[in-house]
Structure 1
């Protein structure tokens, strides 16, 4: 895999490594029950946020099992509004994509724009073959993002997650590099 050149910029966003100064903004949304609603874990305490931020800031992306963890901020307004993670899955050329946004970043196309930039990196520069996103079936906002990214619903696993005292169904969305490239062509 080639070196990843950071930050990644888009029309409206900067995707960069996490920094110690992100703790206050990171914890502000990670501590909210609404943020953790569709996560397999509860909202984070300040200590847990500090530990997570430390892992994110020091993450490497050189082999299977590694995570590329990026802070999302607006180009014209510094300060993080969320995060995007690309996890290198076992098996040749496979990755998983995920995102979490602060309340002030939701509903503005930020997750879609950030995810599209990381998908471009994954397919066009890093040579991945397949990217998926796994989400709670009730997470309709993330499902809509997946569809905007050109991902198709591959599977619905009924009651396969048990978290927060209840069973939940998992939706798996995915896109192949060939599908990505077809969407990028001028005739698509």
Structure 2
């Protein structure tokens, strides 16, 4: 399974081994983890074992738990998690590197994940626990609308030499819970949604300022049908972004003889956003997510073609593409997914 969530300031992406060093920095911080039951990690091998377990969960079609890296401006600053209890409830957890605390990031990340859990998993009860002395954590819970429902003796944090009191907070949810503006959910496109590819293919056609859009029938041309015809083979991958449950954008790759074709081992990109969702950073996150997926699949590079006048050229460079050729109107760009 693949899932990412973009909020106004943050991106939540599946955590795993690529985040080993950055995860270990906060997971081994004894001051930052003093109120936690399973941290600090004493060695980087402990952190690697946790990330390997998270990777294994994300490899499942339906994970038992959802562990995310939290990124701000592309920097890994912490983690947020959801553990469904099998009874309609879901337990939230979070941790941030010390230098990123006090900025509302934990609340923003946890709210976005809780919203997804309610809308997509049907979670009816969100809950979380913390040490009674961990005021920063229970303030986050209160900001999320949770109420304290119980306390119990006998909590033993990993680095503690005595028991403490554990607080339980919860909130019952409905379809309006945890509503957040300007949040996009990015996930794999389902086979029953492949028909949407043609809609986004039309949206992907670059139309210079002042030029009349072409008729929709243009996507039936053979040179454009190569992007979508018989989609679903082993080398075909697609992600869809939605905002408030409505399709907002799509990125897909396949090995095809398109404008950006390099060779028969290199997938080519197509990306499309509805106009009203442009300029929000959604396209950048979709591209970064797809590049991560292609790396994990073992591809060495990816390619695309883009018209020189297209504003997206800058975005492609930002995520790692470089110009390797082209003609009077278009650039051919390549992103190297493995080190030379």
Please, what TM-score do these two structures have when normalized by structure 2? 0.49
Separation (CA, whole Å) in 1 of partners of 2:21 and 2:178:
38
Residue 143 of structure 2: aligned partner: 148
Change (3 A) 1:153 1:21: same
Residue 85 of structure 1: aligned partner: 81
Aligned match of 1:165 in 161, 166, 172? Answer: 161
Separation (CA, whole Å) in 1 of partners of 2:89 and 2:6:
24
Separation (CA, whole Å) in 1 of partners of 2:117 and 2:38:
27
Separation (CA, whole Å) in 2 of partners of 1:11 and 1:112:
12
Deviation at 1:111, TM superposition (A): 0.4
Instruction: State whether residues 115 and 178 of structure 2, in contact with CA within 8 Å, keep that contact through their aligned partners in structure 1.
Output: no
TM-superposition CA deviations, 1:66-116 (whole Å, max 9, x none)? 210000001xx212100001001132x111000011112211100000000
Separation (CA, whole Å) in 2 of partners of 1:144 and 1:22:
28
Residue 55 of structure 2: aligned partner: 57
Instruction: State whether residues 25 and 79 of structure 1, in contact with CA within 8 Å, keep that contact through their aligned partners in structure 2.
Output: no
Give the SS at the match of 1:33.
coil
Give the SS at the match of 1:27.
helix
Q: Which has the higher contact order (CA 8 A, sep 6+)?
A: 1
Change (3 A) 1:145 1:41: same
For 1:55-134, list aligned pairs within 5 A: 55-60=53-58, 62=62, 66-74=64-72, 77-91=73-87, 93-134=88-129
Give the SS at the match of 1:58.
helix
Unaligned runs of 5+ in 2: 181-340
Instruction: State whether residues 118 and 177 of structure 2, in contact with CA within 8 Å, keep that contact through their aligned partners in structure 1.
Output: no
Residue 26 of structure 2 corresponds to residue 29 of structure 1? yes
Aligned match of 1:41 in 34, 38, 43? Answer: 38
Separation (CA, whole Å) in 1 of partners of 2:145 and 2:92:
13
Residue 148 of structure 2 corresponds to residue 177 of structure 1? no
Q: Which moved more, 1:10-19 or 1:36-45?
A: 36-45
Give the SS at the match of 2:21.
helix
Give the SS at the match of 2:112.
helix
Separation (CA, whole Å) in 2 of partners of 1:148 and 1:16:
23
TM-superposition CA deviations, 1:92-142 (whole Å, max 9, x none)? x11100001111221110000000001110112221110100111111000
Instruction: State whether residues 144 and 178 of structure 2, in contact with CA within 8 Å, keep that contact through their aligned partners in structure 1.
Output: no
The structure whose Rg is larger is: 2
Separation (CA, whole Å) in 1 of partners of 2:154 and 2:70:
31
Deviation at 1:182, TM superposition (A): 6.2
